[in-house]
């Protein structure tokens, strides 16, 4: 019988509010430890929480974007458990009446098909603090700055059947929350992280015991953790063992999951309605106002990129997945007046540099206007594509416009036919062996051989000769010798 994987995900998205969900303390990342945790965040005696309406608005934005039911009455509950970075001894969350009910997300699979993944619920809650292990020897440091930061926990149905489907779903949610502007999506900082519930079964049988791997903050690690957990569970079951329902951690260094604690059930947390917070009551007008103000969603933008710019489905999918990237591309295209060339450079040279320098496109040293100006110089044959990469490198490292760099470094392309012809003649004269091989070759094989001569001309011209002119002249002269 064939094993089947069953995956459900719980995504925690930190909402991009300026202050915490129940206090006026700042949510800014990077402050000195324990400098942004106020008395309310710590639940000190005499303090009372006050709900942040911005968190509600962001949660409703998400719910309307996934066609979910919106709870017109939602209630906060206390989830009781002890952990060193949970200063209250409980977490204020929503169990019985969440703000967002059932919805769905459509993901695109590698074979081009679409699969609908159910969203069970999305509820508001406060984040815990952070335990710091790396900076201390045999000790754990506690930073409570994050305590009280608003979270939207997005819980899926167990509809995914592979790690690839799970990653596609997480990427779709990531694109959605960043596009809506309700989460910065920074996985390295923990603003967007995922718990993976995984079980295996023989096809057609009931669900098996699941494990939950907590707080994975990388698309790649999500895929690796799920695949590793599937192999581990199948090995145990095929050896006659049973899967213990538990919480596990993923160790990226060892590429393995390991047991953390037994999996709690809802009754273990002793949920009860929070006595310090009234129910949240909203009406249809509130929901409709938010729905009408939603920005263009990634799926709509992708379709527009295909229709307006004639991009491939793949290119449109990449460029529409992250709003800052989409905006950058559209600005480059406006300046260059060439969508395909703009897409190639944004997804190619620019993305390569961003990855190499671990930089978000919002912090790119080369602006969209600068890149658009560079592409204009390619289109009008001022520079070749290869020279453009040198200009881009200079723009990235030194700043300045393409025109300034081209002028200062003398990179303007040689388009004078007489000058190019002179170099072509010299290359032919100096490479008689290769000329003889070309003339002796079958006509259908000469196309690949001309690359050698092209390279020699470009080398002799310092890369400045117009490649199109070089190729035309070289082919003409070599064919005349055949």
Q: How far apart are CA 402 and CA 382, in angstroms?
A: 11
Domain ranges across the chain:
3-286, 296-409, 417-481
Are 58 and 16 within 8 A, CB to CB?
yes
> In this structure, which CATH number among 1.10.10.410, 1.10.10.10, 3.30.70.360, 2.60.120.380 belongs to the domain 417-481?
1.10.10.410
Write down the pTM of the prediction: 0.83
Q: How far apart are CA 10 and CA 5, in angstroms?
A: 17
Phi then psi for residue 273, to 5 deg, are -55, 135
| Distances from the Cα of 148 to the Cα of 19, 32, 98, 124, angstroms | 9, 16, 18, 11
DSSP 8-state assignment for residue 388: H
Q: Which of 325, 278, 241 is nearest to 74 (CA)?
A: 278
**Residue-by-residue DSSP string for 322-367:** SHHHHHHHHHHHHHHS-HHHHHHHIIIIIHHHHHHTT--GGG-SS-
Are 218 and 193 within 8 A, CB to CB?
no
pLDDT string in tens for the chain (482-residue length):
799 999 999 999 999 999 999 999 999 999 999 999 999 999 899 999 999 999 999 999 999 999 999 999 999 999 998 888 898 999 999 999 999 999 999 998 888 889 999 999 999 999 999 988 777 788 889 999 999 999 999 999 999 999 999 999 999 999 999 999 999 999 989 999 999 999 999 988 999 999 999 989 999 999 999 999 999 999 999 999 999 999 999 988 888 888 987 766 667 889 999 999 999 999 999 999 999 999 999 999 999 999 999 999 999 999 998 999 999 999 999 999 999 999 999 999 999 999 999 899 999 999 999 999 999 999 988 888 888 999 999 999 999 999 999 988 888 766 667 777 888 888 888 998 888 888 888 887 887 888 888 888 878 877 777 777 778 888 887 888 87
What tens digit of pLDDT does each residue of 399-419 get?
Answer: 999 999 998 888 876 666 777
DSSP 8-state assignment for residue 410: T
Q: Which of 90, 76, 179, 190 is nearest to 130 (CA)?
A: 190
What tens digit of pLDDT does each residue of 280-331 get?
Answer: 999 999 999 999 999 999 999 999 999 999 999 999 999 998 999 999 999 9
Q: How far apart are CA 1 and CA 129, in angstroms?
A: 45
Print the SS3 string covering 224-242: HHHHHHHHHHHHHHHCCCC
Residue 35 exposure: Cα atoms within 13 Å on the Cβ side: 6
């Amino acid at each position: 019988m064939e094993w089947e994987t069953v995956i459900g995900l719980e995504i925690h998205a930190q909402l991009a509010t300026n202050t915490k969900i129940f206090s006026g303390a700042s949510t800014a990342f990077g402050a000195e430890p324990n400098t942004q945790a106020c008395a309310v965040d710590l639940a000190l005696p005499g303090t009372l929480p006050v709900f942040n309406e911005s968190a509600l608005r962001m949660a409703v934005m998400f719910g309307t974007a996934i066609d979910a039911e919106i709870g017109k009455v939602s209630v906060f509950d206390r989830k009781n458990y002890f952990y060193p970075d949970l200063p209250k001894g409980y977490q204020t969350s929503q169990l019985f009446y969440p703000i967002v009910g059932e919805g769905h997300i459509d993901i695109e699979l590698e074979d081009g098909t679409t699969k609908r993944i159910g969203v069970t619920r999305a509820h508001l809650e406060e984040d815990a603090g952070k335990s710091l292990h790396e900076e201390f020897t045999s000790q754990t440091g506690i930073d409570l700055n994050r305590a009280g930061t608003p979270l939207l926990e997005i819980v899926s149905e167990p509809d995914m059947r592979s790690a690839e489907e799970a990653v596609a779903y997480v990427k779709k949610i990531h694109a959605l929350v960043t596009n809506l502007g309700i989460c910065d999506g920074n996985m390295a900082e923990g603003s967007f992280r995922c718990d993976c519930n995984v079980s295996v079964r023989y096809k057609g049988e009931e669900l098996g015991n699941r494990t939950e791997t907590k707080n994975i903050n990388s698309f790649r690690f999500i895929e690796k953790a799920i695949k590793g957990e599937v192999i581990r569970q199948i090995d145990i079951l095929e050896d006659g063992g049973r899967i213990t329902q538990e919480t596990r951690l993923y160790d990226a260094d060892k590429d393995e999951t390991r047991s953390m604690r037994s999996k709690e059930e809802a009754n273990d947390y002793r949920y009860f309605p929070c006595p310090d917070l009234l129910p949240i009551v909203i009406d249809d007008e509130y929901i409709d106002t938010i729905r009408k103000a939603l920005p263009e969603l990634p799926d709509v933008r992708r379709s527009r990129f295909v229709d307006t710019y004639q991009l491939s489905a793949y290119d449109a999918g990449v460029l529409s997945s992250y709003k800052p990237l989409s905006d950058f591309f559209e600005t480059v295209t406006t300046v260059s007046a060439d969508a395909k060339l703009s897409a190639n450079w944004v997804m190619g040279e620019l993305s390569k540099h961003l990855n190499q320098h671990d930089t978000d496109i919002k912090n790119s040293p080369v602006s969209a206007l600068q890149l658009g100006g560079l592409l204009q110089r390619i289109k009008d044959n001022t520079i070749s594509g290869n020279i453009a990469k040198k200009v881009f490198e200079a723009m990235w490292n030194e700043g300045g416009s393409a025109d300034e760099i081209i002028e200062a470094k003398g990179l303007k392309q040689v388009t004078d036919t007489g000058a190019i012809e002179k170099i072509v003649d010299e290359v032919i004269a100096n490479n008689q062996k290769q000329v003889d091989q070309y003339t002796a070759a079958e006509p259908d094989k000469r196309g690949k051989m001309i690359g050698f001569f092209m390279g020699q001309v470009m080398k002799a011209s310092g890369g400045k000769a117009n490649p199109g002119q070089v190729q035309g002249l070289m082919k003409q002269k070599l064919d005349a010798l055949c």
